[in-house]
């Protein structure tokens, strides 16, 4: 059960972290770690609580250990003025994912290519066939692909029970782009495709892509990876706005 802790900040000093993550955790926190939570930082939180931030399945998580050391509150903490303290905790203390080497990892994933294979600029996107925003992203991308940019769709299955089967059908198709277009044209219909008969090799590819999303700390589709003018890897989680598409994601090399 997720609870909300509503506390009033008595002093700004209460917001300042005073400790680092230790190697061992109270039982209430360890239970969550055993269930898949990765704790990445801890700090002294308002109200005498001990705060932790981390990720689970790519999602950022904030949690607060009660003074008795035996109970944990998971979710958003706000003060008496309605300020979202948890957002500040995540922003200040959750380390940004290390994207060093991510480009080679993305290149090794199972993806479907659109655009010229000899393009000077490549963009990766994690895409689920049951994702309406992915359909919108692909539509917005088409004019840029015509200018000589390659878009690689890393197919995942995370949104609906049919997502894995649909993603596998794209990866295994004789003409993957045509299959992707078919699923886009069917959205949001055709939700009940079963994954029971998905070949193991295709199932493994989709599940590996799912795991890659978690490794890169992205928990939504579309999630876009591209390089900035300095060659640094950047990511946008969710559908980029039009200015981000033209000025960053699909910015053609000078």
Distances (CA, A) of 135 to 46, 96, 142, 201: 43, 28, 11, 26
149, 234: one domain: yes
In a domain, 8, yes or no: no
- pLDDT at position 105 over 60: yes
Decide if 173 contacts 142 (C-beta within 8 A): no
Looking at the structure, tell me whether residues 144 and 240 fall in a common domain.
Answer: yes
Q: How far is Cα 64 from Cα 128, in angstroms, rounded to an integer? A: 33
Residues 81 and 133 in one domain: no
Domain boundary residue among 65, 93, 121?
A: 93
List 226's β-bridge partners, or say none. Answer: 234
Q: Which residues of 181-213 are buried (b: 16+ CB within 10 A; e: fewer)?
A: ebbbeebeeeeebebeebeeebbebbbebbebb
What is the number of domains present in the chain?
2
What lies within 8 Å, CB to CB, of 192 at 6+ separation is 161, 162
Range of the domain at 81: 29-93
Residue 9 covered by a domain: no
Rounded Cα–Cα distance for residues 27 and 166 (Å): 40
Residues 83 and 149 in one domain: no
Distance CA 73, CA 3 (A): 6
CATH number of the CATH domain containing 87: 3.10.450.70
Does residue 21 form part of some domain? no
Where residue 149 sits, what CATH number does that domain have?
3.40.30.10
**221 and 109 share a domain?**
yes
* pLDDT of 122 over the 60 cut: yes
> What secondary structure letter does DSSP report for 193?
-
CA distance 105 to 212: 8
List the single range of 38-47, 109-118, 184-193, 232-241 with lowest mean pLDDT. 184-193
* Band of pLDDT at residue 3, cut at 50, 70 and 90: very low
Distance between CA atoms of residues 7 and 80, nearest Å:
6
Torsion of CA 142, 202, 104, 210, to 10 degrees: 80
Residues 254 and 251: their CA atoms lie apart, in Å, by: 9
What are the distances in angstroms from CA 40 to CA 93, 151, 190? 8, 33, 40
As given in the structure block, the two tokens for residue 67 are: 């003074």
Residue 106 burial (CB count, 10 A): 20
The answer on pLDDT for 95 being more than 90 is no
Q: H-helix or E-strand containing 42?
A: strand 38-45
Shortest CA distance to 41 belongs to which of 33, 53, 29?
53
Report d(CA 70, CA 27) in Å as an integer: 7
Rg (CA), the chain: 21
Q: Are 133 and 190 contained in the same domain?
A: yes
- Which of 46, 66, 93 is the C-terminal boundary of a domain? 93
- pLDDT for the residue 223: 95
Q: Give the range with max mean pLDDT: 39-43, 132-136, 190-194.
A: 132-136
Alpha carbons 8 and 81: distance in angstroms, whole number? 7
pLDDT at position 197: 82
> Do 118 and 202 belong together in one domain?
yes
- How far apart are alpha carbons 50 and 88 in whole angstroms? 15
pLDDT of residue 27: 93
Q: What is the mean pLDDT of residues 56-65?
A: 86
Is 15 contained in some domain?
no
pLDDT value for 7: 39
């Amino acid at each position: 059960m997720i609870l909300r802790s509503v506390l009033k900040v008595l002093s700004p000093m209460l917001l300042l972290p005073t400790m680092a993550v230790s190697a061992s955790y109270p039982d209430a926190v360890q239970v969550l770690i055993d269930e898949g939570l990765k704790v990445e930082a801890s700090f002294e939180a308002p109200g005498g609580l001990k705060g932790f931030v981390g990720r689970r399945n790519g999602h950022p998580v904030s949690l607060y250990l009660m003074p008795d050391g035996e109970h944990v509150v998971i979710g958003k903490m706000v003060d008496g003025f309605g300020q979202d303290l948890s957002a500040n905790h995540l922003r200040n203390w959750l380390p940004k994912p290390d994207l060093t080497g991510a480009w080679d990892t993305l290149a090794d994933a199972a993806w479907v290519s659109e655009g010229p294979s000899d393009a000077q600029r490549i963009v990766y996107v994690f895409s689920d066939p049951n994702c309406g925003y992915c359909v919108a992203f692909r539509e917005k991308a088409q004019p840029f692909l015509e200018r000589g940019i390659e878009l690689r769709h890393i197919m995942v299955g995370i949104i609906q029970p049919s997502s894995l089967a649909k993603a596998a059908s794209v990866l295994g198709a004789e003409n993957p782009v045509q299959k992707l277009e078919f699923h886009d044209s069917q959205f949001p219909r055709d939700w009940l495709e079963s994954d029971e008969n998905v070949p193991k090799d295709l199932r493994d590819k989709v599940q590996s892509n799912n795991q890659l999303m978690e490794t890169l700390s992205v928990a939504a589709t579309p999630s876009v990876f591209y390089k900035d003018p300095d060659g640094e890897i950047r990511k946008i989680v969710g559908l980029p706005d039009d200015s981000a598409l033209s000025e960053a994601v699909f910015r053609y090399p000078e």
